[in-house]
Amino acid sequence: MALILHLETSTKICSVALSLNGSILFSKVDRNGPSHAVQIGLFVDEALKVAEEKGLKIDAVAVSSGPGSYTGLRIGVSMAKGVCYGAGARLIAVPTLLLLADQVKRSLTLPDDALICPMLDARRMEIYTALYDAQGNCLKPASALIIDENSFSEELRVHSVWFVGDGAEKCREIIKSDRAHFEEDVYPLAESMMPLAEKAFQEGKFENVAYFEPFYLKEFVATVSKKQIIPTR
């Protein structure tokens, strides 16, 4: 089995982990807000020191590949590429919504016919989402969706649906159904990437380090505060 460094920066939480043979050797999480550019370098240095002390070499770097925060994803992927070049390691991409669904599948006991709907906040009433069954199979691929009272009504007629992630909070008051369950305080974490990353390593599913880009889902749009706009005459 491989020694894998895991990086997760797709939300306001930044986390790094190191795993070997199905065990976590190192894990660090910063929940204090989007300071990824500072924290991830510190965490990666700590993880690499753990590997060095054990006389181990990084075989692969797994990075949460999106969708999610545009800036966060760029920071995570840039760091992953740097480590890959420096260590001669392979690059593994872990889709963020799949990671969320896998975390829920492993942490909760769900009915066999339940559905898992990971949600990442995309500002206003928009979310990044996908749909999985209780076994982790993808039923609907990632998309950007504006939530209204009819969202997921077809699924909720038949199935219990677990809505998870930081995008689920703003949906609780809109999606009304006895079959709707909300797990809001669930974020993608680096240490939870281990099962998906190890599976990808075993199957030889690696990315091209030079050309890999995060899955942004939609283009980044920069905004300027109205307070900073220079008035015109």
| Domain residue ranges in the chain | 3-95+188-202, 97-183
pLDDT over threshold 90, residue 50: yes
Structure confidence at residue 219 (pLDDT): 57
Per-residue confidence band for 232, with pLDDT thresholds at 50, 70 and 90: very low
Tens-digit pLDDT profile for residues 179-192: 999 988 899 999 99
CATH tag, 97-183: 3.30.420.40
Tens-digit pLDDT profile for residues 30-48: 998 778 999 999 999 999 9
Tens-digit pLDDT profile for residues 64-102: 999 999 999 999 999 999 999 999 999 999 999 999 999
CATH tag, 3-95+188-202: 3.30.420.40
In terms of pTM, does the model score above 0.85?
yes
Tens-digit pLDDT profile for residues 134-167: 999 999 999 999 999 999 999 999 999 999 999 9
- The DSSP element (H or E) to which 6 belongs, if any, is strand 3-8
pLDDT over threshold 80, residue 220: no
Are domains 3-95+188-202 and 97-183 of this chain identical in fold? yes
